Amino acid sequence: MTVHDRHRRDFLLKASTLGAAVAWAPSVIAAPAAKSRSRRRNEKEDVTPAEDLMREHGVLNRILLVYEESIRRLEAGVELPPEAVSGAAGIVRRFVEDYHEKLEEEHLFPRFVKAATLVDLVEVLRAQHEAGRRLTADILGLATTTATTTAGDARTRQTLVSRLRSFVRMYRPHEAREDTVLFPALHRLIPERQYRALGDRFERREHELFGERGFEGVVDEVAAIEKSLGIYDLAQFTSA
């Protein structure tokens, strides 16, 4: 092999090595970026419409516990902070009735009626929404110092207990039927793309009405009421 041939061989070897390094480098640089994007996606997973509505039912369930504790205190003649009942009913009005139920009435119920699916159930649910709003209006009007103190008017306390009990009795089966029948059927009723888009619409509306923290902020409000009534600690509900 001549000197010229050796120089040519060395040049080609270096060029091929450099080319391989250049080809490999972008994949190494891109890998952390790809992992970062994947991590961001995982940190903020899309919430499906059913999941969104069901976790809002969790807020409603915690308010029902507040109502039940209020009933217990009123019937036992134990003083009850009026702001506990009015605060809980206010969350029902703002979060459950004016937001959660409006989503169902505007985006779920019409789809079932149009598809002639679960129409009888939808009509009952709609009627219960209207009944619930009447009960909430009564509860807000009755949740005063006169109604919630032991020195208050007995008839007013009795009426408040009746309204609270009616609300709890109606909404436990109401939300259970939606969670187990209506919401699962929605996913089967509309294409996946529309289903996901509906979830995005729910999320945007939530933050428009309740700010940046949205659902989490409302949960904090309920927790504060639970603490004022001494029913926040989950361990106290553990069966002996």
What does the block give as tokens for 56?
């809002």
| Cα–Cα distance, 174 to 65 (Å, whole number) | 16
pLDDT at 81: 86
pLDDT at 21: 46
Cα distances (Å, whole numbers) of residue 229 to 78, 185, 201: 11, 38, 35
| pLDDT per residue as tens digits for the range 65-113 | 999 999 999 999 888 888 999 999 999 999 999 999 999 999 999 999 9
Q: Which of 143, 164, 169, 5 is nearest to 82 (CA)?
A: 143
CATH 3.30.565.10 describes domain 48-234? no
Taking each helix axis from N to C end, the angle separating 119-142 and 82-91, rounded to the nearest 10 degrees, works out to 150
Map tokens 């709609």 to a residue: 126
pLDDT at 2: 53
pLDDT at 45: 58
pTM above 0.85, yes or no: no
- Quick check: helix, strand or coil at residue 118? coil
Dihedral of CA atoms 191, 194, 196, 202 in degrees, nearest 10, equals -140
What does the block give as tokens for 100?
């959660």
| Cα–Cα distance, 78 to 182 (Å, whole number) | 40
pLDDT at 8: 54
Alpha carbons within 13 A on the beta-carbon side of 217: 11
pLDDT at 18: 47
Q: Where are the domains of the chain?
A: 1-39, 48-234
Q: Which of 83, 56, 85, 55 is nearest to 70 (CA)?
A: 85
Residues of the chain with pLDDT under 50: 3, 12, 18, 20-31, 33-43
pLDDT at 197: 93
Map tokens 């009564």 to a residue: 138
